[in-house]
């Protein structure tokens, strides 16, 4: 073989002509890919100038001699260029090159086919898993609830499905009876169907369409105003970052060698049946870096289970033996929920000796330097009543539900709370991870039990009294997000019914207060109406009711920019504080419209003082932490087995409101598809599927 006459150039590209260099540059990536794929050398022949590009893949074994399949970190690709000086060698290599290149391109085709097949199989398996879970949900619910539960739930869903399906069928078969639903004209009224057709046209044109048009325009205006508010908030947040406008403290505020220079701080941990997390908060609070003689910890246990009371008492006793100044308080009558618990704890005589009160819920895990980062802000600032820290979540990546919650709460803290604290010195207290001046609590009237948002209530009354607030975006406290949709739904109901209760009760006080007109405008319009009432109202009304109805009312139509461009723009603004969540922008947009049903219901119940407005349910926790394993109480083996068996018997609920709306949206999507309404079809389809997934309990933590 004359290949021995080949002369390696050892990478000296200066000896290659320009077009040969172009060839090498174009094919080097493909050569490397092939070399890694087939795990051997591959080469490309450039016949016009007798040059060949060779890519050689080599494996470098680690010192221990181990090598894992598919480990690209131990692979290196070397390139070399061979100059062929013999014409016979050139022809031989050219012929062999054609054969080898065909094999190599065959490998590329197979690899790409494998990727395509993997994607298709993954999609099919995901859809099959979805259908399997739907079947299991319905069958299990049928066995568990019996005939009575089955009648209440399935008759409701069947009725909604029948009505929407009937409307769609009427649209489909109307043209066969010469009934054009999009044209208003006189028809022969002798036929019964024609009479019904004429009556429906008159009703639709005279009453239904004008009402729907008015509602859609009103909601669109609210939507635009809400979008502008979000945009301005984001601009102000960027301005804060650009100007570095954040609260600062002086070094050496307290003398570490003289504990008497540290103020007296009372730390309260309210809890109720917090079996999974009570040890987390108690241990973290007891490890706060603060002189022990200047710190008192109150564990406010409202648990009604004796076993949990004993476990919490044992935890408190263990820390007391270690020298921590900690006491256990239990109320025999749980009146006023969390507000009543905190108010009762503030009634002890020794509380007057403590200048500041720090509050942590049972699942919060403050770092040891929390007090040293928050309390110094009060020094030299007698008008400061509250210092609020930011929440950080240990389980934000646990499932899709927690990821979507993280988007909302990241925007709330980094944008809303930071902007309001910087420019207005006011924001809603988050109920935990904050430090109050004791005098501000007393001056504001203490904790009241009139609403389910006692934290926002006392913050509002303190603001009306002239107290100022500071939000620390850099001080973060670990906590948990609800991992199941049921727990999240109950939490959102409380968070959205409470502000409307408070608005109804405090509106006269806001109007008659001595604060400036600008602060009154901020409280009434921006804080309550725009961000607490308008958002759930237009989101539910516009996208869940008006939009699907416009598919059956041809006189009304929502433009594409309302259902597509502005929602995407709003979602982008919400994701700015958590850029890693950008891949979830579409699920986030759909889920926000889905949860608007719960928010709208809660808002109406709070505003009009309906029956479930005062419902206060403790959010379920799991006891997760990013720093050490779950700290759970010691349980016997039998007890653990019993708890696990009970857990297996639970199953995610089916939510009839979400399922009914899913049927409405999917029916509207079918109508949109049949009449080629474009973007409306895709929005209605995916929004209907998101309602169906949520309604069947297929999002968040799964219980089997």
Which of left, alpha, beta for 268 (phi over 0: left; psi -120 to 50: alpha)? beta
Establish whether 455 is a catalytic residue: yes
User: Which residue in 302, 361, 457, 677 is the catalytic one?
Assistant: 302
Q: What contacts 594, CB < 8 A, 6 or more positions away?
A: 658, 687, 690, 691, 694
Residue 17's nearest CA partner among 83, 78, 63, 77 is 83
Q: How far apart are CA 531 and CA 524, in angstroms?
A: 10
User: Which residue in 301, 361, 363, 455 is the catalytic one?
Assistant: 455
Q: How far apart are CA 71 and CA 369, in angstroms?
A: 43
Burial class of residue 115, CB neighbours in 10 A (0-12, 13-18, 19+): exposed
The DSSP code sequence of 297-355 is EEEEE----HHHHHHHHHHHHHHHHTT--EEEEE-SS--SHHHHHHHHHTTSGGGGG-S
Residue 595 has, within 13 A of its CA and on its CB side, a CA count of 23
Strand 7-8 to strand 75-83: parallel, antiparallel, or no bridges (unpaired)? antiparallel
Structure tokens at 651: 């199953």
Q: How far apart are CA 640 and CA 638, in angstroms?
A: 5
Establish whether 474 is a catalytic residue: no
Angle between helices 454-464 and 337-345 (to 10 degrees): 60
Q: Are 691 and 658 in contact (CB under 8 A)?
A: yes
What is the edge-to-edge ordering of all strands in the sheet holding 295-301? 326-330, 295-301, 265-271, 356-359, 434-437, 384-393, 468-479
Helix, strand, coil % in the chain, rounded to nearest 5:
60, 10, 30
Place of tokens 């391109």: 105
Q: Are 347 and 452 in contact (CB under 8 A)?
A: no
**Which helix (H) or strand (E) is 51 found in, with range?**
strand 51-59
Q: How far apart are CA 674 and CA 168, in angstroms?
A: 10
Q: How far apart are CA 472 and CA 246, in angstroms?
A: 8
Residue 94 has, within 13 A of its CA and on its CB side, a CA count of 13
Structure tokens at 624: 């997760």
Q: How far apart are CA 513 and CA 383, in angstroms?
A: 18
State the catalytic residues.
302, 455
């Amino acid at each position: 073989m004359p290949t021995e006459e080949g002369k390696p150039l050892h990478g000296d590209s200066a000896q290659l002509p320009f077009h040969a260099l172009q060839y090498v540059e174009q094919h080097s990536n493909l050569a490397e890919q092939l070399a890694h794929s087939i795990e051997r050398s591959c080469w490309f022949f450039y016949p016009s100038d007798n040059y060949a590009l060779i890519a050689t893949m080599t494996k470098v074994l680690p010192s221990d001699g181990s090598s894992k399949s598919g480990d690209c970190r131990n692979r290196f690709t070397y390139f070399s260029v061979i100059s062929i000086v013999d014409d016979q060698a050139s022809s031989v290599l050219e012929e062999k090159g054609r054969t080898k290149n065909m094999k190599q391109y065959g490998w590329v085709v197979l690899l790409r086919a494998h990727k395509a097949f993997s994607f298709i199989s993954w999609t099919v398996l995901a859809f099959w898993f979805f259908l399997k879970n739907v079947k299991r949900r319905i069958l299990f619910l049928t066995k568990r609830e019996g005939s009575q539960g089955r009648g209440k739930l399935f008759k409701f869903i069947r009725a909604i499905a029948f009505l929407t399906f009937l409307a769609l069928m009427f649209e489909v078969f109307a043209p066969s009876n010469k009934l054009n639903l999009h044209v208003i004209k006189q028809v022969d009224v002798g036929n019964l169907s024609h009479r019904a057709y004429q009556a429906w046209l008159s009703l639709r044109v005279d009453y239904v369409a004008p009402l729907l048009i008015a509602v859609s325009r009103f909601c669109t205006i609210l939507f635009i105003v809400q979008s502008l508010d979000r945009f301005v908030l984001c601009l102000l947040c960027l301005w804060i970052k650009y100007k570095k406008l954040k609260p600062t403290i002086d070094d050496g505020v307290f003398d570490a060698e003289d504990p008497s220079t540290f103020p007296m701080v009372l730390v309260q941990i309210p809890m109720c049946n917090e079996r999974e997390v009570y040890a987390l908060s108690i241990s973290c609070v007891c490890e706060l870096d603060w002189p022990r003689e200047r710190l008192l910890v109150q564990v406010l246990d409202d648990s009604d289970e004796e076993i949990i009371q004993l476990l919490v008492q044992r935890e408190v006793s263990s820390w007391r033996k270690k020298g921590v100044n900690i006491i256990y308080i239990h109320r025999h009558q749980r009146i006023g929920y969390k507000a009543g618990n905190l108010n009762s704890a503030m009634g002890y005589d020794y509380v007057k000796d403590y200048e500041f009160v720090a509050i942590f819920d049972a699942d919060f895990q403050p770092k040891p330097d929390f007090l040293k980062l928050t309390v110094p802000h009060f020094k030299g600032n007698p008008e400061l009543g509250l210092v609020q820290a930011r929440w950080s979540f240990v389980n934000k990546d646990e499932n899709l539900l927690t990821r979507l919650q993280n988007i909302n709460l990241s925007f709330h803290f980094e944008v809303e709370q930071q902007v309001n604290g910087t420019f207005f010195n006011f924001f809603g207290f988050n109920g935990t991870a904050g430090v109050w001046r004791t005098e501000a609590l007393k001056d504001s009237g203490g904790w009241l039990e009139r609403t389910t948002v006692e934290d926002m209530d006392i913050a509002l009354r303190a603001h009306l009294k002239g107290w100022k607030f500071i939000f620390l975006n850099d001080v973060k406290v670990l906590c948990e997000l609800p991992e199941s949709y049921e727990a999240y739904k109950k939490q959102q109901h409380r968070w959205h019914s409470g502000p409307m209760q408070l608005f109804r009760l405090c509106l006269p006080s806001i109007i008659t207060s001595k604060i400036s007109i600008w602060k009154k405008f901020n409280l009434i319009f921006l804080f309550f109406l725009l961000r607490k009432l308008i958002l759930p109202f237009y989101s539910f009304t516009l996208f869940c009711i008006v939009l699907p109805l416009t598919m059956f009312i041809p006189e009304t139509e929502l433009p594409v920019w309302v259902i597509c461009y502005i929602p995407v723009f709003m979602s982008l603004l919400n994701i700015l504080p958590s850029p890693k969540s950008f891949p979830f922008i579409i699920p986030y947009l759909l889920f926000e419209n889905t949860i608007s049903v719960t928010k709208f219901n809660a808002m109406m119940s709070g505003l009009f003082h309906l029956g479930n407005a005062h419902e206060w349910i403790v959010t379920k926790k799991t006891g997760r932490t990013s720093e050490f394993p779950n700290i759970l109480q010691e349980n016997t083996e039998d007890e653990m087995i019993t708890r696990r068996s009970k857990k297996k018997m639970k199953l995610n609920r089916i939510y009839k409101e979400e399922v009914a709306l899913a049927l409405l949206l999917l029916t509207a999507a079918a109508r949109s598809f049949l009449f080629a309404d474009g973007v409306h079809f895709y929005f209605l389809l995916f929004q209907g599927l998101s309602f169906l997934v949520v309604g069947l309990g297929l999002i968040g933590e799964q219980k089997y």
